């Protein structure tokens, strides 16, 4: 009965852990995007007030627009703190360069960094870590989005209640936005088993330029901009199979 009572207390505490982890994503999806949408709507109302409207309606539209601009400025200032701390530079103002930056992040940085951070916590025993990243897209136009979501897989650890909770909370100190979610506990205290999932969020930078038309590769020639053959990654990149722990690698040197 004592063990069951402890697990119940853990489940209550898990909610707080997850909320801490998703704070940065929540600021974007719950604050910045709605404020940006509100600004766009205010601009539309402002544009509709000219010409032909009364001075009173014009003044009202100007006040509405100014208020929306100020709210967006405040929201962006809050987000900038998380952006500087947690986001790699994926600049979508140039789709080809942005794609290369995203490839580097997926292939060389994020996966190995997650593994290293995970296994550096010696307070728990990691019994299973199904961490995998998808191979990067070879279409540079695919980088044209504000946010990327990468489900990384599941992790199972064993340890005391306190150590497992400290292990999950530790992801709040990771220098990318990785959410530890869905923690499930089992076993008998003091040695418990905890299983949770990891999801990475990457937000891009810059304003997208006109979409690049990818040329069709001819026989014996590379694809867009010489980035490799049709459907293939750029030279020196070898795609991973997507199996747990199998990241795409760069060249023969691995990660």
Let me know if residue 242 belongs to a domain. Answer: no
Let me know if residue 172 belongs to a domain. Answer: yes
How many CB atoms sit inside 10 A of residue 216's CB? 9
Q: How far is residue 156's CA from residue 247's CA, in Å, rounded to a whole number?
A: 19
What are the tokens at 240?
């991973």
DSSP annotation of 205 reads B
Let me know if residue 124 belongs to a domain. Answer: yes
**102 pLDDT more than 50:** yes
The neighbouring-strand residues paired with 128 are: 156
Q: How far is residue 102's CA from residue 92's CA, in Å, rounded to a whole number?
A: 10
Q: Which domain covers residue 14, as residue numbers?
A: 2-205
Higher per-residue confidence, 70 vs 211? 70
What is the rounded end-to-end Cα distance, in angstroms, of the chain? Answer: 47
Mean pLDDT, all residues of the chain: 75
Higher per-residue confidence, 184 vs 19? 184
**245 pLDDT more than 70:** no
What confidence score (pLDDT) does residue 23 get? 57
The enclosing domain of 191 has a CATH number of 3.30.70.60
Q: How far is residue 185's CA from residue 193's CA, in Å, rounded to a whole number?
A: 6
What confidence score (pLDDT) does residue 113 get? 93
Q: What is the mean pLDDT of residues 179-203?
A: 90
Let me know if residue 229 belongs to a domain. Answer: no
What confidence score (pLDDT) does residue 126 get? 96
Let me know if residue 250 belongs to a domain. Answer: no
Most confident by average pLDDT, 9-18, 138-147, 217-226:
138-147
Phi, psi of 229, rounded to the nearest 5 degrees: -75, 175
What confidence score (pLDDT) does residue 16 get? 42
Q: How far is residue 115's CA from residue 112's CA, in Å, rounded to a whole number?
A: 5
Q: In terms of Cα–Cα distance, which of 103, 118, 105, 153 is closest to 132?
A: 153
What confidence score (pLDDT) does residue 157 get? 96
What confidence score (pLDDT) does residue 105 get? 94
Q: How far is residue 255's CA from residue 253's CA, in Å, rounded to a whole number?
A: 7
% of the chain exceeding 70 in pLDDT: 68
**11 pLDDT more than 80:** no
Place of tokens 């599941």: 154
Let me know if residue 152 belongs to a domain. Answer: yes
Let me know if residue 220 belongs to a domain. Answer: no
What confidence score (pLDDT) does residue 26 get? 64
Q: What is the mean pLDDT of residues 38-50?
A: 80
Q: In terms of Cα–Cα distance, which of 5, 3, 26, 29 is closest to 181?
A: 26
Let me know if residue 191 belongs to a domain. Answer: yes
Higher per-residue confidence, 240 vs 117? 117
Band of pLDDT at residue 72, cut at 50, 70 and 90: confident
Question: How many structural domains does the chain have?
Answer: 1
């Amino acid at each position: 009965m004592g063990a069951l009572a402890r697990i119940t207390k853990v489940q209550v505490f898990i909610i707080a852990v997850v909320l801490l982890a998703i704070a940065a994503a929540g600021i974007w999806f719950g604050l910045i995007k709605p404020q940006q949408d509100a600004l766009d709507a205010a601009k539309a109302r402002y544009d509709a007030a000219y010409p032909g409207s009364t001075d009173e309606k014009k003044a009202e539209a100007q006040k509405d627009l100014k208020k929306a601009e100020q709210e967006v400025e405040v929201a962006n200032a809050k987000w900038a703190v998380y952006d500087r701390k947690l986001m790699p530079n994926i600049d979508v103002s140039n789709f080809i360069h942005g794609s290369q930056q995203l490839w580097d992040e997926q292939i060389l940085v994020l996966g190995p960094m997650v593994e290293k951070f995970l296994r550096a916590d010696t307070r728990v025993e990691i019994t299973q870590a199904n961490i995998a990243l998808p191979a990067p897209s070879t279409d540079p136009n695919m980088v044209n989005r504000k946010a990327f979501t990468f489900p990384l897989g599941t992790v199972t650890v064993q340890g005391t209640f306190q150590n497992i909770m400290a292990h999950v909370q530790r992801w709040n100190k990771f220098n990318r936005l990785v959410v530890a979610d869905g923690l499930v506990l089992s076993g008998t205290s003091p040695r418990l088993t905890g299983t949770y999932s990891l999801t990475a969020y990457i937000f891009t930078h810059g304003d997208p330029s006109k979409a690049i038309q990818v040329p069709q590769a001819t026989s014996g020639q590379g694809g867009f901009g010489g980035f490799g053959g049709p459907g293939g990654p750029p030279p020196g990149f070898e795609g991973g199979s997507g199996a747990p722990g199998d990241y795409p690698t760069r060249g023969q040197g691995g990660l």
